[in-house]
Amino acid sequence: MLPSSPAPSPRSSPSEAFASVDFAWTHRPPGCDLDALTDIQWRADACTPRSVLCFQCHDDGPSDAELYRRYLAASAFAVLVTNRRLDCFDALRHKGVFVTRADAYGDTVARLCDAFYPLPADHWRIAAVTGTNGKTTTVKYLEALLGAAGERVLSVGTLGLALNGVSQGATGFTSPPLVELRRLLAAYQDRADVLVTEASSHALHQGRLAGLQFDAAAWTNFSVDHLDYHGTEAAYFTAKAGIVDHLPPGAALLTCSPAVAERLGRERPQTPVALVRPIAADAELLAELLAERPFLALDYNRANGALALALAARILAPRGKRPPPHPWRALRAVDGRFETFVCGNRTVVVDFAHTPDALDNVLGAIRAAFPQARVTTLFGCGGDRDRGKRPLMGAAVCRHADHAIVTSDNPRFEDPEGIIHAVLDGMGDCAEAPEVVLDRAEAIRRLFDRLAAAPAAARQVALIAGKGHERTIERNGAKTSFSDQDEVLRNFERLGWTRG
């Protein structure tokens, strides 16, 4: 359960905050007293008769009539702040309605949050991470490094909210809505001084981080994803590039990706970029890492670790501090990110990889770390998301795996068999014909039966990809409890295997 906190004493009155914004359109009925407002919300069902409701509409979202029926008709809010005119405004004549100008929604909400959740001057130091893959891992590594240096750290991302590494609950978002983030900063300001947060492309495009200046920021990598939302690869890149707008003038964006650095140099030549080298590992260190921190035997995790170390140095330097010596010893495996389960010569890896690039990376890393092993990959693709990546994910698995099992993964409102057929379109070059097992639990059981049938002396690695930390499967609007990790442990027990 995420904490609640009383609104702090306003830095400015609500009426002053509203007056500071140049709205595109307003309706303020008689008796609408802005200074009588007591709170600001992003959820319509959380409003009281004295609430400001900040409600952002998206081009690919429900119709105006559906928005009104599902969210606005029964809500008790006093004032609505939204980013475009809606057909239902005539039905809201007794409410205050304020429509922001184009591209000003995030900045407007930030100004209103200043009235209800003001940020203490010079209190929060903020580090943010964007990228197609590796955001969660880099944020958790940074959290660990700062904690080892004695900092009080609040982290926000895909794995939820954490205070000094201890989970505080889920937010339901990679990057929460701005109102929720500001509420969390107010709730934790007496217990933390540093915020480390993932910055998704959706959040940067929608202004969920508006009004926040970062002390340090990093971009892990870039490959095609989220085209269901952004439409084009160029729009996706532009959204992510918005992270540099949160840095002070002259502050360099950190990245381990030469491709990101080169493209930013072309498209935003005024942006300073610092290229960070991955943690170097000779044969002796690699052996030590494989024994003590197996996730750091992977090239991309050493790149994530290098970015986290560079971010930590920037956060700590103004306080006269440095990251801990031998920093890799402070790092811990991240839930669902190359999480390993070992029994003898059999290694099972659970990983969140759910893009073609991520599958290429994790399977390439497995091939490099276990060159003599037979590799089996179990994976699926989510429904109602970018359909173009499905055959590309299938092809990525074919390039690296000796055998593949294709199964279901959050079909949402799509037919799981239709999704799998799209995946199979990219798997014509597989060394062996892929298996199709629709039920994910049964697919994992089939995978373990294959591992058990092979000679015990044979080196085998199985990758279960796509869900990672997730603990549910989403289908037809309902979420059912499901965990790849739990299924792995259940099959270990079924086969009488002891985890090494």
- Domains of the chain are 14-116 (3.40.1390), 125-330 (3.40.1190.10), 339-495 (3.90.190.20)
Alpha-carbon dihedral 467, 224, 272, 219, rounded to 10 degrees? 0
Model confidence pLDDT, tens digit, residues 422-461: 999 999 999 999 999 999 999 999 999 999 999 999 999 9
Beta bridge partner(s), residue 130? 219
- Containing 451, the helix (H) or strand (E) segment is helix 440-453
Residue 139 has pLDDT above 60, yes or no: yes
- Quick one: pLDDT band at residue 276, thresholds 50, 70, 90? very high
How far apart are alpha carbons 404 and 395 in whole angstroms? 11
Instruction: Pull the structure tokens for residue 394.
Output: 């299938």
pLDDT of residue 242: 96
What is the edge-to-edge ordering of all strands in the sheet holding 160-163? Answer: 166-169, 160-163, 153-157, 194-198, 125-130, 216-219, 253-255, 273-275
Which of 31-35, 157-161, 326-330 shows the lowest mean pLDDT across its residues? 326-330
pLDDT of residue 6: 35
- Quick one: pLDDT band at residue 253, thresholds 50, 70, 90? very high
Task: Work out the mean pLDDT of the chain and round it to a whole number.
Answer: 93
Specify the DSSP class assigned to residue 81. Answer: E
Sequence-distant (6+) residues with CB within 8 A of 6 are none
* Amino acid in position 62: P
The 10 Å CB-count burial string (b at 16+, else e) for 233-254 is: eeebbbbbbbbbebbeeebbbb
Instruction: Pull the structure tokens for residue 40.
Output: 């600001």
The rounded percent of the chain whose pLDDT value lies above 70 is: 96
pLDDT of residue 9: 40
Model confidence pLDDT, tens digit, residues 62-85: 899 999 999 999 999 999 999 999
Model confidence pLDDT, tens digit, residues 3-17: 443 344 446 899 999
Instruction: Pull the structure tokens for residue 220.
Output: 């892990």
The rounded percent of the chain whose pLDDT value lies above 90 is: 82
pLDDT of residue 290: 66
Specify the DSSP class assigned to residue 291. Answer: H
pTM of the predicted protein model: 0.83
pLDDT of residue 11: 64
**Residue 110: how many other CB atoms lie within 10 Å:** 20
| Secondary structure percentages of the chain, helix, strand, coil, to 5 | 40, 20, 40
Degrees, nearest 5: CA angle 193-18-8: 35
How far apart are alpha carbons 30 and 13 in whole angstroms? 19
Model confidence pLDDT, tens digit, residues 361-418: 899 989 988 899 999 999 999 999 889 999 999 999 999 999 999 999 999 999 999 9
Own/partner contacts of 162-171, CB < 8 Å, gap of 24 or more, are 163/188, 163/191, 163/192, 164/192, 168/2, 168/3, 169/1, 169/2, 170/2, 171/2
Q: Name which of 452, 463, 483 is nearest 397 in CA terms.
A: 463
- Quick one: pLDDT band at residue 281, thresholds 50, 70, 90? low
Q: Name which of 292, 283, 294, 104 is nearest 207 in CA terms.
A: 104
